[in-house]
Chains A and B, each alone.
Chain A
Amino acid sequence: MQGFGDAFGAAFALIARFDTDLVEIVGLSLRVTLSATLFACLIGFPLGALLAVGRFPLRGALTVLVNALMGLPPVVVGLVVYLMLSRAGPLGTLGLLYTPTAMIVAQTILVTPIIAALTRQIVADLDAEYHETLRSMGAGAGMRMRTLLWDGRFALTTAALAGMGRALAEVGAVMIVGGNIDHVTRVMTTAIALETSRGELALALGLGIVLMILSLALNSLAMGARVGAARMAHA
């Protein structure tokens, strides 16, 4: 049986060798996940704020739907995007299947509900706090959304990080729409799945450790940026 010692050994060897394949895989993981998180933020922040402060029919139902979509299984998202992007599908002519773009699309769909739902909660809480003030200023819905999103920016970092964590960790969607093609669409999680299926458990776990280190680094960066920004805001 291959143990944890072997796994840490493999992780250390991978990093020490700094081999170009690993750098490529890590780079693609970052590119796909960060792009998907960015697009999910661009959609999720306004959508969440709208659900929090907007007053329109079916708002409650839409809120429940967005919350429920947080539980979307990645494999289902992968299948839906595959069916859309397949040559036999409605968007087949774009030729996007088995490209990083397809992976970004799938992860954006996966992550947007998480960011939107968390944003809605954050903005709704702030709205309850500042409702009277904003109303007395005669702020319209758009103004209120912008103000509250800006006010909640530190809490929203956590929403973005939650979404990014989901994107970084999932394997089901990118495996189907990316195809785990070497040097083209292979990312950390699909590489881990491949090594597991080769029975190279120590190497798979080693890659997992590298992924955790990556996640730690990204979260530390975000935390640092947040602390720095908070200092500037209060200075």
Chain B
Amino acid sequence: MRRFCLPFVAALAIAIPAGAQGDFIVVQSTTSTQNSGLYDAIVPAFTAGAGIEVRVVAVGTGQAIRNARNCDGDVLLVHAKAAEEQFVAEGYGISRADLMYNDFVLVGPAEDPAQVGATDDIDAALAAIAGSKAAFASRGDDSGTHKKERALWAHAGVAPEGDSGTWYRETGSGMGATLNIAIGMGAYTLTDRATWIAFGNKGGHRILSEGDEALFNQYGVIAISPEKCPTVRADLAQGFIDWLLSDAGQAAIADYRRDGQQLFFPNAGR
């Protein structure tokens, strides 16, 4: 039997051995910052200067917070202010800082079956969708975008959960997967603008509602507390956060563009 496994051992020997481990931190992150390519654009500059590797685990905001609660990260970078403040209040985070913002947009099929038009009134847009029972794809995954979407429905005076499975369709998936689904079934959906601009499979969908103040999307960054999580790499984490909030880090965020459009607007300490 040992001889039998020889080919595998041989294959293992030629496979790449584990690399040397330098200083690194784990960032529990929302997906939009990774899917839009932000980290690829800004992190190399930090790593080159500080010698700290940044390992990004991009999951929904809800899961990122859960993972951080389990001490499986050093930095939390998400976009759900209330949940972030609760995370800090419970002692898991040292403190929370505003990092940057952009906004959410409502995208839908060009035919616009619910006659949303191009409105900046998100309440009216959502009411039109609910009124016409046009398909709407919800994240349904407790992500930052999902939390925002539920708040918007509540503000519009609609309770779509009762229609789940009919026109209101909860995908239980990430933003990209939900966009693919929405485009596949001709449904409306709410997305952050960064993911939408960077998204490669827009099909015939376009932005139908944008610009409402309620669509503001604030990203925050939190260092995970060594008191709750003794294994956390607190110094390295603080180094990364300090850089993100510094002029250099904020400029790097502002400089990141896709198709000539700025995706994130730095607003640390403002």
**B58 nearest CB neighbor, chain A only:** A180
Main secondary structure of the interface of A (DSSP, over half): helix
- Interface mask (B40-76 → A, CB under 8 Å = 1, otherwise 0): 1000000000000001111000000001011110000
A95: B residues at CB distance < 8 A: 231
A92: B residues at CB distance < 8 A: 71, 231
**Is B35 part of the contact surface with A, judged by Cβ < 8 Å?**
yes
- Interface mask (B151-191 → A, CB under 8 Å = 1, otherwise 0): 00000000000000000000000111101100000000000
**Is A131 part of the contact surface with B, judged by Cβ < 8 Å?**
no
CB distance from A44 to the nearest CB of B (A): 11
Partner of B199, one of A160, A181, A199, A225: A199
A199: B residues at CB distance < 8 A: 176, 179-180, 198-202
**B67 nearest CB neighbor, chain A only:** A86
B56: A residues at CB distance < 8 A: 181-182
**Residues 119 to 169 of chain A near chain B (Cβ within 8 Å):** 146, 149-150, 153, 156-157, 160
* A198 and B70 within 8 A (CB): no
* A27 and B201 within 8 A (CB): no
Contact A38-B8, Cβ < 8 Å, known A179-B55, A182-B56, A184-B55: yes
A93: B residues at CB distance < 8 A: 231
**B24 nearest CB neighbor, chain A only:** A184
* A198 and B199 within 8 A (CB): yes
CB distance from A230 to the nearest CB of B (A): 13
Q: Give the size of the chain B interface in residues (CB under 8 angstroms).
A: 39
B67: A residues at CB distance < 8 A: 86
B176: A residues at CB distance < 8 A: 196-199
- Bound-state Cα–Cα, A221 to B69, Å: 45
- Interface mask (B187-229 → A, CB under 8 Å = 1, otherwise 0): 0000000000011111100000000000000000000000001
**Partner-B contacts on A (CB < 8 A):** 1-2, 24, 27-28, 30-31, 34-35, 37-38, 41-42, 45-46, 86-89, 92-93, 95, 97-98, 100, 146, 149-150, 153, 156-157, 160, 179-182, 184, 194, 196-201, 203, 221-222, 225
